[in-house]
Amino acid sequence: MTEPEALLLPPDDGSWRLADYLRRGGYEAARKALTSMAPADVVSEVRRANLRGRGGAGFPAGVKWGFVPPAGPGPRYLCVNTDEGEPGTFKDRLILRRAPHALIEGLVITAFAVGVPKAFIYVRGEYARTAGRLEAALAEARAAGFIGPRVLGTDFSLDVVVHYGAGAYICGEETALLESLEGRRGLPRVKPPFPAAVGLFRAPTVVNNVETLAAVPGIIRRGADWFVGRGLPKDGGTRLFGVSGAVRRPGVYELPVGTPLRRIIEDHAGGPPEGRRIKAVVPGGLSAPVLRPEEIDLPMDYDSLAGAGSMLGSAGIVVIPDGAPMLDILHLTARFYAHESCGKCAPCRIGTAWMLKIVERLRRSGGRPADLDLILSLGEGIRGRTLCPLGDGAAQSVRAVVTKFREELEQAVAR
């Protein structure tokens, strides 16, 4: 981190405007791509960078772009997933506020690379006020010729539309997002076909997360090798690790992919407040199975977290302190998925509702320790039996709380 100008997130000092972004070398990458590179070269540079999707699934962005069929006569679209709603995740909000032009520049480069003339930015409805800066930045970019007709004087044109959701976590799932964008309930689609082949209005579509796109200008400007060098060979770059919960300095920390979880929590976020100890850590948003304190000496990259039976997800880290009853954590987890299940797949719709009912009974009275096994078996009934990852997220996060803190839960139930 010796080059502050290479950081994705500048300080929160009002330097989000175009003039400041240009002073930091902004839009040089877009100029380079549009005036000196072929679209296919842009795709292969990003593929070489091993930029893995920052939304949670971790699919390599360059590979995803490569699935879009070669330019044909019909329309094609780019959608920016700004439906940030995974509990414990607030990084995309900060990009909207502090670096909206990094997102816009990444959007321009990506649209050029996949030959898209029209892009939609799907922003969760609750971020409408926060996205005021994004809209202001888009107006600046339009006035300066970075989006709109004949971008930077080339033959490439790009129309960008900001679209606001209206309260539905599920719309962060890419096919639900497309359904929502088409004016329907956000119900995930059957995959395949994947959006790259059949997406928005049945046209080839790329859906990328905000942080993913914001990382693209750096790759084009400084090269794939530079990007890989900042992270891990198979998982390049830096990431915005959000840390909240029981730490002295909650916030977002931009660090190399692979930075150990314990170091992020203790060195960067200051560790738990005086007199508190870490009881559990959610490493990547609520859907990522919770870790016990002895499990947090892990490099924060997709493969390492998967190897530990959890998930890097959105890299939203939440530190749970001693003294926080795990029955409460179990309850809010079950409540979240029961509330957010879209209802399309029966195992998720019914399973999450029953998990919540059982947890509520455990909290009142009349619950039995054996109910914990019932919760686990409901989870097994959901896992792998749904169209989208929400069901798996519900099953695995609930399962981790129940199995890793079983003794405490049983004692709480017995009382």
Burial class of residue 284 in the structure, from the number of CB atoms within 10 Å of its CB (0-12 exposed, 13-18 middle, 19+ buried): buried
Q: In angstroms, what is the minimal distance from the CB of 223 to other proteins?
A: 32
Question: Considering only residues 40, 139, 161, 306, which one is a binding residue for other proteins as defined by CB under 8 A?
Answer: 161
Helix, strand, or coil (residue 70): coil
Q: Is 299 one of the binding residues for other proteins (CB under 8 A)?
A: no
E strand or H helix at 159: strand 159-164
* DSSP line for 211-275: HHHHHHHHHHHH-HHHHHHHSBTTB-SEEEEEEEES-SS-EEEEEETT-BHHHIIIIIS--S-TT
Interface region with other proteins, contact rule CB under 8 A, candidates 7-15, 160-168, 255-263, 406-414: 160-168
Interface region with other proteins, contact rule CB under 8 A, candidates 38-46, 182-190, 209-217, 296-304: 182-190
Q: In angstroms, what is the minimal distance from the CB of 328 to other proteins?
A: 7
Q: Is 180 one of the binding residues for other proteins (CB under 8 A)?
A: yes
Q: Is 168 one of the binding residues for other proteins (CB under 8 A)?
A: yes
- What separation, in Å, do the N-terminal and C-terminal C-alpha atoms of the chain show? 51
Q: Is 163 one of the binding residues for other proteins (CB under 8 A)?
A: yes
Q: Is 165 one of the binding residues for other proteins (CB under 8 A)?
A: yes
CA distance 71 to 373: 53
Q: In angstroms, what is the minimal distance from the CB of 411 to other proteins?
A: 21
Q: Is 251 one of the binding residues for other proteins (CB under 8 A)?
A: yes
Query: CA geometry: angle at 43 spanning 40 and 45, to 5°?
Result: 110
Residues 216-245 that bind other proteins (CB under 8 A): 242-245
Whose Cβ is closer to other proteins: residue 38's or residue 332's?
332
Residues 109-138 that bind other proteins (CB under 8 A): 118, 124-130
Instruction: State how far the alpha carbon of 73 is from the alpha carbons of 41, 108, 116, 156, 204, in Å.
Output: 21, 21, 12, 16, 11
Contact 372, 410 (CB under 8 A): yes
Residues 191-210 that bind other proteins (CB under 8 A): 201
Interface region with other proteins, contact rule CB under 8 A, candidates 142-150, 167-175, 216-224, 360-368: 167-175
Max intra-chain CA distance, the chain: 72
Whose Cβ is closer to other proteins: residue 63's or residue 128's?
128
Question: Considering only residues 158, 282, 311, 400, which one is a binding residue for other proteins as defined by CB under 8 A?
Answer: 282
Q: Is 332 one of the binding residues for other proteins (CB under 8 A)?
A: yes
Q: Is 388 one of the binding residues for other proteins (CB under 8 A)?
A: no
Contact 10, 16 (CB under 8 A): yes
Whose Cβ is closer to other proteins: residue 23's or residue 339's?
339
CA distance 392 to 253: 28
Question: Considering only residues 75, 117, 148, 293, which one is a binding residue for other proteins as defined by CB under 8 A?
Answer: 75
Residue 285's region, left for phi above 0, alpha for psi from -120 to 50, else beta, is left
Tokens of 366: 């009349």
For 332, other C-beta atoms within 10 Å of its C-beta total 11
Write the binding mask 306 to 325 for other proteins: x where contact by CB under 8 A, - elsewhere.
Answer: ----------x-x-xx--x-
Residues that bind other proteins (CB under 8 A): 75, 84-90, 92-93, 118, 124-130, 161, 163-169, 180-186, 201, 242-246, 250-252, 282, 286, 316, 318, 320-321, 324, 328-329, 332-333, 336, 339-340, 342
